[in-house]
Every structure is written in C-alpha cells, then in structure tokens.
Structure 1
C-alpha cells in the first residue's frame, strides 16, 4: 500500500475540534439530547416524542402536513414518528373533512404521558438554561432559527436553479 499524499485542506483543519459546522452541530445535538434523555429516564416517551406530543397538544387536530411544518421536518419523518405514537396509544388518527385527510390528536394516554413527562423535561430544560445563562440560551435559540431560515433559502435556491 502506498503512502497517502497530504491533502492541504485536511492538514489545515487537522487540529480543529470540528471539520465543519454540520459536524459541530451534530455533536452539540447529541450532547443536548443525551441530557434530555438522561433527565427523562422513566418517562413514557422520549424527548423527540415529547416534542411531537406537545405540538399535537397545541394544534389539537392537525393534518400530517401541518404537523410536519410545525415540527420543521418532512412529512415522511413526521408520519413515521406519529405511527410509533399511534401504535403505543399516545396519539390517534381520525378522518378530516374527507377520507383523504388524516387528523392527528392526543389520546387520553398521550395526555397523561405529557403530564407525567413535563416535570422531567422542564428540569432538563432548566438545567441547560441555568448552565448556559439567559443571554447564551437566547442567542443559541436565535442563531438556530437563523440557520433554519438559511437552510430553507439554500434549498429554495437549489430548487429554483434546477
């Protein structure tokens, strides 16, 4: 096997903590998710499911498309996550104005899961907020929103160019 030739860019970033923003954000997301998962141990739902149940609570009867928009994810991912919560009895799907429209709503079990999980979720949230401080907490959320909006613009530009 021959010796590998140096690649200039990779040598430049060799000692950086993360090679790119995506890698850094994934690592941060894993750390934050681990904190929520650990804090919510024993809850009937995990943090991702908790977010989905909270959105359904706010929206009451939501179509998959509306729910996906509010979760800021694609419809396929939302449907897959909803299906698990339906299977486990936390959500139910009913018909909307016509048979093609499916409306997602909380079941009694889903409502109870929220009531049981919220204190643990809030504790995790409060611990992170206290560790970061109000200013950094608010900056992170604001900058995350900026990244989300830039991502949408980048996707829109790519679609328009095609």
Structure 2
C-alpha cells in the first residue's frame, strides 16, 4: 500500500531541490522566495498570518524569517501585543525578489517541460483543494 505522505514529501523534496538549484544565483531558496512574494503582495502580515497563508508551521517559518531578517531582506515592527510582529520587505528584499523572479520563471518553465505529460493545472487545483481541506 503506497504511503500518501511519503509520496507527497518525496515529490516536494525533488521539486524544492530543482527550484533551489535554479534560484541559486540569486541567493534565495524557494521557501524564501515564497515569503518575499507574499510580503510584496501583503506587507504587514504577522508571523501567524504568514504561517497560515503558506501552510507552514510557525517554528519553521520563524527560523526562515530570522535568516531573512539577518540578510536584511525583511524587517519587523511590533504590533499592539509585544509578541506580535508585522513583517515587510526592505529595499534589499525588494531587490532580491526582482533578482530572483526571472530565475523562478525559468524554474517554472523547466518544471512544466519536465512534467509535460502531467496535468499541472489539475495537480495545482488538487493540491490547493487538499490544503484548504486540511487547514480548515
């Protein structure tokens, strides 16, 4: 009997490695790229709201945000509750996103060519649906 979790994790690792390799010249990993894009579209998000939007656990997200903050790509300002932090891109983060964007587009194209026999739109819809069901 196949393990659904194992199969999805294996596919995720392979796709992540491919995107990370293509993004390497920008110094951005695919997880960081997703955060940069999210904050570009929605500045001021809290760690919790980002974790929810990205379907990431807060511990993993916090580790990634720390690295990105140390790189000066993002910065936080406190919320009304001192524990709450609102994140936004810095100028360096915006520049890094612009540098990574054409590489990400290249990775998208390479992945689409590699998986040309797969209904990627259908797969994307199915994964989105699965995330919505499990996040509820």
TM-score, structure 2 normalization: 0.88
User: Aligned to 1:112, which of 95, 107, 119?
Assistant: 95
Aligned length: 136
* Cα RMSD (Å): 2.0
The answer to whether residue 41 in structure 2 is matched with residue 58 in structure 1 is yes
Q: Normalising to structure 1: TM-score of the pair?
A: 0.75
Unaligned runs of 5+ in 1: 1-12, 14-18, 154-162
1:125 positional shift:
0.7
1:71 matched to 2:54? The reply is: yes
Distance of 2:135 and 2:91 partners within structure 1? 36
1:16 is aligned to none
> Deviation digits for residues 78-136 of structure 1, max 9, x if unmatched?
22211111011111111234544311011111111101111101100122123334971
Q: Which has the higher contact order (CA 8 A, sep 6+)?
A: 2
Q: Which residue of 1 aligns with 2:128?
A: 145
1:65 to 1:134, Cα distance in 2 relative to 1, 3 A: farther
Q: Which residue in the other structure is 2:4 paired with?
A: 21
Larger radius of gyration: 1
- Contact 2:79–2:85 (8 Å) recurs in 1: yes
Corresponding residue for residue 32 of structure 1: 15
